[in-house]
Amino acid sequence: MSPSQLRCLKKAFTYSVQASYSTNVNLASKSEKPLFNLLGRGESEVGDLVSKEYPKFRLFQTKQILNWIYSKGVMNFQAMTNLEPGLRKHLEDNFCVDYGRIETEQRSVDGTIKRLIEYGIPENKAKGLVEAVLITENNRRTLCVSSQIGCSLNCTFCHTGTQKLLRNLTSGEILGQYMGYLHLLGGFPADPQNRKISNIVFMGQGEPLLNHRNVFSAIKTLTSPQGLSFPSKRITVSTSGVVPVIPRLAELGVNLAVSLHAVNDELRNQIVPLNKQFSIHTLLDACKAFVAASPPTTQRVTFEYVMLKDINDSTREARELVRLLHGLPAHVNLIPFNPWPGCDYECSNEEQIKEFAKIVSSKNIYTTIRYSKGQDIMAACGQLKSLNMSKAKRTPTNAIQKANLA
């Protein structure tokens, strides 16, 4: 790790660039002063930070810096040629633009690319590793990003749930996953008419709404004209049911996906333990509030339903699902279970999945069966887990008490 990387690491808990970005890497400085990562910081914050020790700084220069970072993908301040040399030097000595360090990159036979990215864990010897997955389907490229290192919610079908929560990702670290893939795809300078990534889903490691401040901030930068101008209607945030925050997603204009997976509280308490705090009934009320507060472009709420053999896949449960979703503009996404080592669940038979889908769709609920991609590299739904991370205990969570949902 270079001195400049180390300095980023010390200051912002984020780690600097890997070989693939090396043309844009900040030059190492003799000083050991830690660097602030500018990625993910709002316009006024960048202005305040930079001007503090550089009195000649003028406000319009904030826009210039943000333009270099987000429109051109530049990480090296010396390459920001419309800034005066003194300002470039000041930036170089005090700040960095850091996407995280790529630990590994795997490519599936179906074109899926999975990256394991390292972020810092202060005073912790464990590496802070998260996964971000790029899925290509026809003309569509979807990036699945992580929001936390590990997860506290212990959903029993999910491999990530076995990985102890180490910390929330910052908004810069969430954005770094997107920026890194955009570099890989040759997406800079950014061209809104030819987006290299068409959709972003918050379905990687972690529960996004238990880190809602940083997730909301990242989405604001993604969608803002001063940021990445990414269309909000092409962003989906998935939640296991953090009810108090769900209606607030409407203000961002993004889509909502809910990990439902069961149609009665008794079973959902087992599969998604968060249900003990927020029952199915309160969850569906929150979804209705989200729809009521959303712009007309938000057409439906997606309900994810993992198909577990002899657990939640009966025709009786399909009919109950129809009853529960009555009155909600819903899309039901049936996900054949993706096995992972040490898990006791089995995937439902194909006929059973089709029968389930037939019953739900016969009641005019848009229903799809999503066969996950990237299974050969463990990049499919519910399979994401960073190797070498500490294990979580399968115990009822007190995550909600710990998280500040205000």
Catalytically active residues are 131, 381
The residues near 14 (Cβ < 8 Å, ≥ 6 apart) are: 8, 37, 39, 98, 100, 119, 120, 170, 172, 173, 176
The residues near 341 (Cβ < 8 Å, ≥ 6 apart) are: none
Range in contact with ligand SF4 (rule: CB under 6 A) among 91-99, 115-123, 204-212, 322-330 = 204-212
- Name which position in 73, 100, 128, 206 contacts ligand SF4 (CB under 6 A): 206
Based on the shown chain and the rule CB under 6 A, indicate whether residue 312 belongs to the binding site for ligand SF4.
no
Provide, rounded to whole angstroms, the least separation between the CB of residue 386 and ligand SF4: 12
Task: Give the residue with the Cβ less far from ligand SF4, 131 or 317.
Answer: 131
Encoded one letter per residue, x for contact with ligand SF4 by CB under 6 A and - for no contact, window 179-198 reads --------------------
Task: Give the residue with the Cβ less far from ligand SF4, 91 or 263.
Answer: 263
Encoded one letter per residue, x for contact with ligand SF4 by CB under 6 A and - for no contact, window 247-286 reads ------------x---------------------------
Token digits of residue 403: 């998280």
User: For residue 173, which phi and psi values (nearest 5 degrees)?
Assistant: -70, -35
Task: Give the residue with the Cβ less far from ligand SF4, 205 or 386.
Answer: 205
Spatial distance between the Cα atoms of 165 and 386, rounded to a whole number of angstroms:
12
Based on the shown chain and the rule CB under 6 A, indicate whether residue 160 belongs to the binding site for ligand SF4.
yes
- Name which position in 118, 207, 313, 317 contacts ligand SF4 (CB under 6 A): 207
Q: Which of 247, 276, 233, 255 is nearest to 330 (CA)?
A: 255
Contact 92, 28 (CB under 8 A): no
- The H-assigned helical ranges of 169-211 are 171-184
Provide, rounded to whole angstroms, the least separation between the CB of residue 189 and ligand SF4: 34
Neighbour tally for 138: CB within 10 Å: 5
Encoded one letter per residue, x for contact with ligand SF4 by CB under 6 A and - for no contact, window 114-153 reads -------------------------------------x-x
Provide, rounded to whole angstroms, the least separation between the CB of residue 270 and ligand SF4: 13
E-state strands within 43-160: 95-96, 101-107, 113-119, 128-137, 140-144, 148-149
- The H-assigned helical ranges of 195-264 are 212-223
Token digits of residue 40: 């993910």
CA angle 145, 151, 157 (to 5 degrees): 90
Contact 202, 238 (CB under 8 A): yes
Provide, rounded to whole angstroms, the least separation between the CB of residue 120 and ligand SF4: 21
Based on the shown chain and the rule CB under 6 A, indicate whether residue 201 belongs to the binding site for ligand SF4.
no
- Name which position in 66, 155, 169, 179 contacts ligand SF4 (CB under 6 A): 155
Based on the shown chain and the rule CB under 6 A, indicate whether residue 240 belongs to the binding site for ligand SF4.
yes
Neighbour tally for 400: CB within 10 Å: 18
- Name which position in 161, 187, 336, 374 contacts ligand SF4 (CB under 6 A): 161
Q: Which of 75, 67, 68, 94 is nearest to 12 (CA)?
A: 94
Q: How many Å from the N-terminal Cα to the C-terminal Cα in the chain?
A: 38
Provide, rounded to whole angstroms, the least separation between the CB of residue 340 and ligand SF4: 11
Task: Give the residue with the Cβ less far from ligand SF4, 77 or 278.
Answer: 278
Task: Give the residue with the Cβ less far from ligand SF4, 26 or 239.
Answer: 239
Task: Give the residue with the Cβ less far from ligand SF4, 151 or 283.
Answer: 151
Range in contact with ligand SF4 (rule: CB under 6 A) among 166-174, 201-209, 221-229, 358-366 = 201-209
Count the residues of the shown chain that bind ligand SF4, applying the rule CB under 6 A: 12
Contact 199, 143 (CB under 8 A): yes
Residues near ligand SF4, by CB under 6 A? 151, 153-155, 158, 160-161, 205-207, 240, 259
